[in-house]
Structure 1
Amino acid sequence: MAYTEFDRERWVAEDPAQKRADRDDFARDRARLVHSAALRRLAGKTQILGAGHDDFVRNRLTHSLEVAQIGREFGAALGCNADVVDTACLAHDLGHPPFGHNGEMELDRVCADIGGFEGNAQTLRLLTRLEPKRCHPDGRPAGLNLTRASLDASTKYPWRRGAGPVPSRKFGTYEDDLPVFDWLRGGAQPGVRCFEAEVMDWSDDVAYSVHDLEDAIASDWMDPRALRSRTEMRSVLEVAGATYAPDQDPAALGDALDRILATGAIPQRFDGSRNDLAGLKDMTSQIIGRFVLAVERATRERHGPGPLSRYDADLVVPDGTRAECAVLKAVANQFVVTAEDQMALKGRQRELLADLVELCAAQPETRLDPPFRADFLAAQDDAARLRVVVDQVASLTDARAVLLHSLWAAPTGTSA
């Protein structure tokens, strides 16, 4: 299926004279993402460990770049437009607030009475409202004004809160962003993702499952020998089954771990030497290739040769491959995400974000950045004003959140 003019349409029509003849619509979408402030800010946001933890671990930006590298080649091999997939991969984490999923959970609590907070819904809000590039004729912001195909590909959970095909806290749009959501989803079956979004989602799963393991080993949060210890891995397999693959039989998850170890990709030891760091890189290359090729082959077996895109195919992830990926996710969860000192830090981070929302709301005229200040003044009710405050807080990098909190929460007489 070729991409049509419908797929290339933008929410706000643009002057054709501004187009460069040598650049495709979807290449323009990617360029807008690359030049956006929202993408740059990801360099200061937590991936698995806090931004700045050390010079090896990923942040949200480097993670997004790696997802895009995987997704671009993977999607192109299946016949997708490479720029559409690349754009979706670069955009997929734009909505993450400071401190990653931990911050997301706290802002969801803060927004419980106004429709919640969800990083994927916030991504759509950034792309279509908050990130400045184009405006509607009446002056309302239109965000980056990407094409319908690129916006749809960036929508991992194409439903409103509570309206997904399976029970989940994940959703892709807030109620006041429904007009653009309905526009970009024009003609699509409710709850069904386009093929490019599925490619982006699997590329994300592959990248973070493998790279979080690499970061955990390289940063001495875990010894790779633990992966060969039945005692230590027992709890990991329990987490994999409870959190990442609840439909998989526990024995199947154990078999998945055995298959990964049998590849020989996991190093026997790690001491931080260049040779061992090279071994880690070989590990990531081998496992990423394993996961991507397994899905590419399974998808081709179902759909045959030829280009696949939009709604003419669905991505096929074999159960065994999904189980292997779930086990690797659980390893990072067990050894890093839920480590005792990390849990104490996460509690302090949640308190800080809750404070920032209150502090911004108390003095919006001086504490909101100019674009958010204008949104706050235009808001029609308390719910809309709270959403603007959360938009501001969610946009912050980890470091700026900490800095502003230190200034605003200072004792009376010394605050900024």
Structure 2
Amino acid sequence: MVKQLASFACDVEKSLGRLHAEADSATRTAYARDRDRIIHSTAFRRLKGKTQVFVANEGDYFRTRLTHSLEVAQIARSLAHSLALDEDLAETIALSHDLGHPPFGHAGEDQLHACMAPWGGFDHNVQTFRVITRLEVRYPAFDGLNLTWETLEGIVKHNGPVSHRMTEPSWKSIVDFNAQWDLRLDTFASLEAQCAAIADDIAYNNHDVDDGLRAELFTIQDLLDVPLIGPALHSVRKDWPLIDTRMWRLEGVRRMIGVMMTDVLAETARRLAADGIETAEDVRVAKRPMVSFSKGVYDDLSRLRGFLFDRMYKHYKLNRTRSHAKRTLQEMFSLFMTEPDTLPTDWYQRVCSKDSETARARVICDYIAGMTDAFAIDEQRRLFSFGN
């Protein structure tokens, strides 16, 4: 039985299609096909070796970009199901959202942006777009993955309209693509894309609490007065007075996810009704996002983030990792720019094919951005240590 979608959902039968025309799949909708192309991409596989917060080789229990993306996709799909949206589209955008992240998480992104400052900078959202429209070369008829308009729109605009960013040098790739195929950068994306965006917030705040506890950067006792997670932990202790610390942590995080999702669904329903949203086009031209936390939960989430910032993200152990990561990427970038013949042969050939320093720098940036944490560490060792 085919599920009846809400009137404001994206209807795959009305999709604007693909930039390069292809025959329809006999077994999958266009959005499900997009999802499968993401899952089979090289960039998606590499997420297993890229930092979320902790460097990917620090322990098997900590999240990587891959496990984070899977958690975001599960939450996005659940939200889409509850709102009667297209679950495949929400899942696809969620799985795609971090494909452009370089090694070492946000520290790596900051360093690549600094390295690329003279040549347009670096932005992981733009890099994601470069990956799916250009850098993944898997099909004989076109570069990139040739995803549907709605998927591309959702990946570019999942956090809201981006037309104000089109003058930023780092967004040139999107400007160029948009001139070829208009993604309506001044509007909101679909509700499915908005579900993916808020699922990212839900996932990382919850799993950062979980990973921070695992890493012993703080304790459960430290969290008891922190909004969202504190009440969840108190409710677990009330229901299970003799529960062990491990299960207390797991059940507390699970309940916090539930609270946040319930709040999003209630606030989204309120906004859809208040703003008279009836169609997918109404969503795009709305004056505000429709998928959102209530003000109360948003304020609580800000306080939780403040706790994590002070006790986790700025912990000296993570500061040391970030410092090492920045040096690693800086040294490699500088060497490749001055001695491009130290690049692997295929990447050296790509550099040589470019007729400007800006284009050559972007190729080098693409090479580094695609690295996993472990590969970047090993590559830096091979380049700067004798005997390797």
Q: TM-score, normalised by structure 1?
A: 0.80
For the structure 1 residues 148 and 347, does the alpha-carbon distance in structure 2 shift closer, same or farther, using more than 3 Å as the test?
Answer: same
- C-alpha displacement at 1:197, in angstroms? 2.4
Query: Aligned equivalents of 2:277 and 2:253: distance in 1?
Result: 28
Aligned partners of 1:107 and 1:353 also within 8 Å = yes
Identity %: 29
Structure 1 residue 163, shift from structure 2 partner: 5.0
- Alignment-derived partner of residue 353 in structure 1: 329
**Long gaps (5+) in structure 1:** 165-170, 230-256
| Structure 2 residue 230 is matched with structure 1 residue 261 | yes
Output the amino acid matched with 2:302. A
User: Is residue 109 from structure 1 mapped to residue 117 from structure 2 by the alignment?
Assistant: no
1:114-143 deviations in Å (ceiling 9; x for gaps): 22111111111101110123466xxxx531
Q: Choose from 14, 22, 32 the match for 2:27.
A: 22
Closer, same or farther: CA 189–49 of 1 in aligned 2, 3 Å: closer
| Aligned with 1:45 (options 31, 46, 50) | 50
Q: Which amino acid aligns with 2:260?
A: F
Greater CA deviation, 276-285 or 41-50? 276-285
Q: Structure 2 residue aligned with 1:178, among 175, 200, 218?
A: 175
Q: Report if aligned partners of 2:100, 2:124 keep a CA contact under 8 Å in 1.
A: yes
Q: Among residues 124, 133, 151, which one is paired with 1:119 in the alignment?
A: 124
Q: Is the 8 A contact 1:78 1:308 kept in 2?
A: no
Q: Give the SS at the match of 1:312.
A: helix
Paired residue for 1:394, among 343, 353, 369?
A: 369
What SS does structure 2 have at the residue aligned with 1:354? helix
Q: CA deviation at 1:289?
A: 1.3
Residue correspondence of structure 1 range 15-414 to structure 2 within 5 A: 16=23, 19-134=24-139, 142-155=143-156, 156-157=158-159, 158-159=161-162, 162-163=165-166, 174-182=171-179, 185-186=182-183, 188=184, 190=186, 192-228=188-224, 257-258=226-227, 260-264=229-233, 275-304=244-273, 310-313=280-283, 314-368=290-344, 370=346, 372-411=347-386, 414=387
Equivalent AA in structure 2 for residue 159 of structure 1: V
Deviation at 1:334, TM superposition (A): 2.0
Distance 1:309 1:99 in 2: 41
- AA in 1 matched with 2:173: D
Q: 1:48–1:336: 8 Å Cα contact kept in structure 2?
A: no
Describe the shift of the 1:160–1:174 C-alpha distance in structure 2 as closer, same or farther (beyond 3 A).
farther
Which one-letter code corresponds to 2:253 in the other structure? T
Give the Å deviation of 1:326: 2.4
Q: Is the 8 A contact 1:80 1:308 kept in 2?
A: no
Superposed CA deviations along residues 239-288 of structure 1, whole A, max 9, x for unmatched, are: xxxxxxxxxxxxxxxxxx456533445777xxxx9943222221222111
The 1:206/1:328 distance shift into structure 2, 3 A limit, reads same
Partner-residue secondary structure (3-state), 1:174? helix
Deviations 1:308-328 (A, max 9, x none): 774433223211111222233
User: Which residue pairs with 1:10 in the alignment?
Assistant: 18
8 A contact 2:15–2:149 mirrored in 1: yes
Q: CA deviation at 1:113?
A: 1.7
Greater alpha carbon shift after TM alignment, 220-229 vs 117-126: 220-229
Instruction: For 1:119 and 1:266, locate their aligned partners in 2 and report how far apart those are by CA, in whole Å.
Output: 38
**What are the ranges of 5 or more consecutive residues in structure 2 without an aligned counterpart?**
1-7, 284-289
Q: Secondary structure at the match of 1:97?
A: coil
More moved, 92-101 vs 304-313 = 304-313
Q: TM-score, normalised by structure 2?
A: 0.85
Distance 1:97 1:160, change over 3 A: farther
Deviation at 1:394, TM superposition (A): 0.6
| Alignment partners' CA distance in 2, 1:131 and 1:301 | 40
**What is the CA–CA distance in structure 2 between the aligned matches of 1:325 and 1:144, rounded to whole Å?**
36
Partners of 1:365 and 1:304 in 2: how far apart?
Answer: 60
Is the alpha carbon distance of 1:149 and 1:259 closer, same or farther for their aligned partners in structure 2, counting shifts above 3 Å? closer
Distance in 2 of aligned mates of 1:4 and 1:31: 16
C-alpha spacing 1:274/1:317, structure 2 compared with 1 (3 Å): closer
Of 377-386 and 85-94, more deviation after overlay is shown by 377-386
**Distance change >3 Å, CA 104–CA 160, structure 1 → 2:** farther
Equivalent residue, structure 1, for 2:3:
none
Given the superposition, is the C-alpha separation of residues 36 and 282 from structure 1 closer, same or farther in structure 2, using an over 3 Å criterion?
same
Residue pair 1:120, 1:173 contacting (<8 A) in 2 also: no
Q: Is the 8 A contact 1:161 1:172 kept in 2?
A: no
1-side partners of 2:104 and 2:136: how far apart?
Answer: 20
Compute the displacement of 1:6 (Å): 6.1
CA distance in 1, matches of 2:196, 2:345: 32
Distance verdict in 2 for CA 1:10–1:265, change over 3 Å: farther
Superposition deviation, residue 348 in structure 1 = 1.8
Q: What amino acid does structure 2 have at the position aligned with 1:285?
A: R
Structure 1 stretch displaced more, 300-309 or 107-116: 300-309
Contact 2:126 2:173 in 1 (8 A): no
Cα RMSD for the two superposed structures = 2.8
Q: Using the alignment, how far apart are the partners of 1:32 and 1:172 within structure 2?
A: 29
1: distance between equivalents of 2:337 and 2:14?
41
Q: Secondary structure at the match of 2:355?
A: coil
C-alpha distance in 2 between matches for 1:56 and 1:395: 23
Give distance in 1, aligned partners of 2:246 and 2:279: 38
Per the alignment, do residues 184 and 82 of structure 1 end up closer, same or farther by CA in structure 2, a change over 3 Å counting?
farther
